[in-house]
Chains A and B, each alone.
Chain A
């Protein structure tokens, strides 16, 4: 049966057409597919319509990039070269102005398994040299993954540093970060920090709540809930559907908003969701994540990529 025919059948049967993208291999297994949460706005997750509204003045946006490559081997041990960077841009009259920016170039390798001369050679070449955990058994691909975890952490740390610098420069400004706010523990209790999570790897809701949250109509938000994280200050979160998902994947246009838990994080959910709807324009194309990537965050990434230059 033709592709379009199946979609019609599903729609006629009360379902929603999917994107129908072709794939040849299963994706990487989800590491943390499930979490738990407590609903803090009502007793169940509801779809709440939001009214688009103006964004508050002086909002800033923080994002980061990371790049790496395996630049060599000592035997079967990889040496990873990496670049991480982060920047915070403040919006003033529609224009984005850089407030804080940082970058770091470094090498990552399982130093514990290298010889003295190999370590010295790397240290002489690059000032910053971070160790990665050696695998329990020697496996080049696994050791690359462990090195990339170091790169991930360094990027998060650089982002946290930029966030602090921004807060010092603009103590009262609203800061939107790309990803979860939990990476910025220094801002616990800071209601002016807002996280926009684009990936939905961890599902905190359950049962009918998941269906309600994941099938939100465009221009709707879910009720506020409190995801349970292992560490850090309590967080409030809710979903917002920015773009229609019919004919696309179920997460198309769906973002999850996070704030450190305060009284305002529930009462201001409508307002924040409203101006997030306005942030749909301009589109952040040609980025493939344009349906969830806010344009100012896209600009932060563009800026950092331009500053990083070519990778050679």
Chain B
């Protein structure tokens, strides 16, 4: 039985010029009707029981004034003059059909009464009934549809958000309005709470590419009563993320972490992200300029990766190499150059020209300099826990402080690793949401065909089968590669720039919808989803986490300290009982690389007795002895004629 719901607010009208069609119709309402762009309405034909659900896409108002000049004449040129009778005025709305019940036969919209949609109507209109009802619902709350006093949750289908039917989410909006990042944080929280267990485990990997945006997801943020009520309406608990892991590379000093989450209260929860030669060599394409590294260099790098790195390798001059890190690699290069020189063959080595070898040496060894803090010379590694990813955990990789090259490397390698583990089904979870902001930088529509862009295209087109889901954000959707945005099943729009709305991608939207998009307040989005015939507007509450700005105010980042202090502080974070003075004594006079290796090993192991473990990882200290000049050596006398007898 059809729920008649609210009282009629208008009536469908059709003329030869403005006919009602199966996809669009027009209706009038009283001037004061609580209706606006984006409102969902229901038209019900009493005759055959056909019900049409539609969303308002445009509105017009006009009076019976024949020409503006007549108003001037009647007012005798006085704009403040008030006429005793108000002119007859009309509110004429245009609505786009969302759904007809029954679906067949498809017919023009009946010329019948128009009502505001009820909660049940919203469900039906957006075809949410298909995935909210039944034994295995897959609805994920994405926001509240609000119109005419109604506040009704809108759900997206997990099968179409995280795969396998369709997947990926793209969000566009002007920067600085706290919409893109907030929406993604809110949505990931909603996914974690509502993603059905029968669909498996889910985790999120978020790349923090600017400022402190994602650095405080585990800290509670302030919410108004209205926002708390929105959480209640959406069935989501307003709380920060309970399980968050933070990763950040070191600064070039190798001990201070390169993150704004460096306040002493929090920095202990940030894991260092440190890679060695193997991690880098696999993704050399990201780091090396394609114009510089040709096919010959590629072949030599492949040779190193396949035959040399982490293998026993004997050169022609009797040296046995086991290259594990950049230091070993430099040793190998030295041996090759010396060997070729001593053998008098200075042009070729194993079919590779010496110039190619020199070029590859320069480029590869330079990586550890350019990405210092992330890439170590000595092969120490601290990485994400690929293989033991946890269900409903957020992994934040803070690369905001890195240069573009480092960001590209981190992004490429981590996403590639996620894909490989998901392919092998051994990541630890079945679905991973990867959040990437500034997508126009990583996957631009124009510009060079970079490795990063190729990888993003690959995720966009094939990720849904693996459970690898891209949540991308950018300010200008038109500047992102079409195949990346085109493959996003769910699309969110925050407040938009008018220039962006003037681009061809937005031609399908009515001028009124565009104006609404250009003036949307914080916390409001337009959402497009495969189940929704037309985009709908929703409101969402602020995420219940501390914003980047709020976090930095509450937890001011620590100032970088000296090498010794940084080591002492990091060990103290693992064990508050560790005395700084004792640590400084232990590391005094030791090479910094030795200390870094020991520190990294200690952080990785997290032993009970931190100081003892740390000490055990330090190389045995060689006792310094003062060398005195030997006595009794005769002074060499100057010789006038060195060739003389």
* Residue ranges of A at the interface with B (Cβ–Cβ < 8 Å): 54-55, 91, 94-96, 275, 278-283, 285-286, 295-296, 299, 302
Which residues in B have their C-beta under 8 angstroms from that of A299? 85, 88
A131 to chain B, nearest CB (A): 39
B176 at the interface (CB under 8 A from A): no
Report the Cα distance A54→B74, complex, angstroms. Answer: 15
Let me know if A282 and B71 touch, CB within 8 A: yes
When each residue 69-82 of chain B gets 1 if its CB lies under 8 Å from chain A and 0 otherwise, what string results? 01101111000010
Is B61 part of the binding interface, using a Cβ–Cβ cutoff of 8 Å?
no
* In the complex, chain A residues whose CB is within 8 Å of the CB of B226: none
Residues in A whose Cβ lies below 8 Å from that of B86: 94-96
Question: Which residues from A are CB-within-8-Å of B85?
Answer: 91, 94, 96, 279, 282, 295-296, 299
Judged by a CB distance under 8 angstroms, whether B266 is at the interface is no
Q: Is the CB of B64 within 8 A of A279?
A: no
A55 & B66 in contact (Cβ 8 Å cutoff): no
How many residues in B have their beta carbons less than 8 Å from beta carbons of A?
17
Name the residue in B64, B84, B87 with the highest tally of chain A Cβ atoms < 10 Å from its Cβ. Answer: B84
Min C-beta distance of B596 to chain A, whole Å = 81
B71 closest partner in A (C-beta): A282
Q: Contacting A282 at CB < 8 Å: which of B67, B74, B76?
A: B74
Residues facing A in B28-85 (CB within 8 A) are: 64-67, 70-71, 73-76, 81, 83-85
Residues of B close to A279: CB separation below 8 A:
84-85
Distance A288 CA – B73 CA, assembled complex (angstroms): 15
> Contacts of A54 on B, CB cut-off 8 Å?
84
Point out the residue from B66, B67, B81, B88 that lies within 8 Å of A281, measured CB to CB.
B81
**Interfacial chain A residues near B66, Cβ < 8 Å:** 283, 285-286
Within the complex, the shortest CB–CB distance from B88 to chain A, in Å, comes to: 6
Q: How far is the CB of A302 from chain B (nearest CB, A)?
A: 7
Are A282 and B65 CB-contacts (below 8 A) given A94-B86, A95-B86? yes
On whether the beta carbons of A281 and B74 are closer than 8 Å, the reply is: yes
User: Is B84 a contact partner of A283 (Cβ separation < 8 A)?
Assistant: no
Q: A94-B84, A95-B86, A295-B85 are in contact. Are A281 and B64 (CB under 8 A)?
A: no
B81 partner residues in chain A, CB cutoff 8 A: 281
CA distance A103 to B76 in the complex (A): 37
Give every chain A residue within 8 A of B73 (Cβ-Cβ): 283
In whole angstroms, what is the CA distance A147 to B86 when docked?
Answer: 38
17 contacts between A and B (CB under 8 A): A54-B84, A94-B84, A94-B85, A95-B86, A96-B85, A279-B85, A281-B75, A281-B84, A283-B70, A283-B71, A283-B74, A285-B70, A295-B83, A295-B87, A299-B85, A299-B88, A302-B88
Contacts of A55 in B (CB 8 A): 84
Q: Which residue of B lies closest to A279 (CB)?
A: B84
Q: Is the pair A91, B84 in contact by a Cβ cutoff of 8 Å?
A: yes
Which chain A positions have C-beta within 8 A of B70? 282-283, 285
Those 8 A-B pairs whose CB atoms lie nearest each other, nearest first: A281-B74, A281-B83, A94-B86, A285-B66, A286-B66, A283-B74, A283-B70, A55-B84
Residue of A nearest to B63 (CB): A282
Apart from A95-B86, A275-B84, list 20 A-B contacts with CB within 8 A.
A54-B84, A55-B84, A91-B84, A94-B83, A94-B84, A96-B86, A278-B83, A278-B84, A281-B81, A281-B84, A282-B65, A282-B70, A282-B74, A282-B83, A282-B85, A283-B66, A285-B70, A295-B85, A296-B85, A302-B64
A282 to B81, CA, bound (A): 11
Chain B positions within 8 Å of A281 at CB level: 74-76, 81, 83-84
Mask, B83-108, CB within 8 Å of A = 1, is: 11111100000000000000000000
- Least Cβ distance of A14 to chain B in Å? 27
* Distance of A283 Cα from B64 Cα, bound (Å): 10
Closest to A54 in B: B84
Residues of the B chain whose Cβ atoms lie less than 8 Å from the Cβ of A285: 65-67, 70
Contacts of A283 in B (CB 8 A): 66, 70-71, 73-74
Complex interface: chain B residues within 8 A of A95 (CB): 86
A96 CB contacts on chain B under 8 angstroms: 85-86
When C-beta atoms are compared, the residue in chain A nearest to B75 turns out to be A281
| Bound complex: CA A302 to CA B71 (Å) | 19
Tell me the complex Cα distance, A281–B71, Å. 8
Q: How far is the CA of A281 from the CA of B367 in the complex (A)?
A: 81
The chain A residue with its CB closest to the CB of B65 is A282
Q: Which of A55, A95, A275 has the most CB of B within 10 A?
A: A95
Q: CA A279 – CA B65 in complex, angstroms? A: 15
Q: Report the separation of the CA atoms of residues A54 and B81 in the bound assembly, to the nearest whole angstrom.
A: 12
| Residues of chain B contacted by A286 (CB below 8 angstroms) | 66
- B88's closest neighbor in chain A, by CB? A299
Residues of A within 8 A of B83 (CB): 94, 278, 281-282, 295
Nearest B residue (CB) for A57: B84
Q: How far, in whole Å, are A295 and B63 apart by their CA atoms in the complex?
A: 13
Question: Across the two chains, which residue of chain B brings its CB closest to A89?
Answer: B85
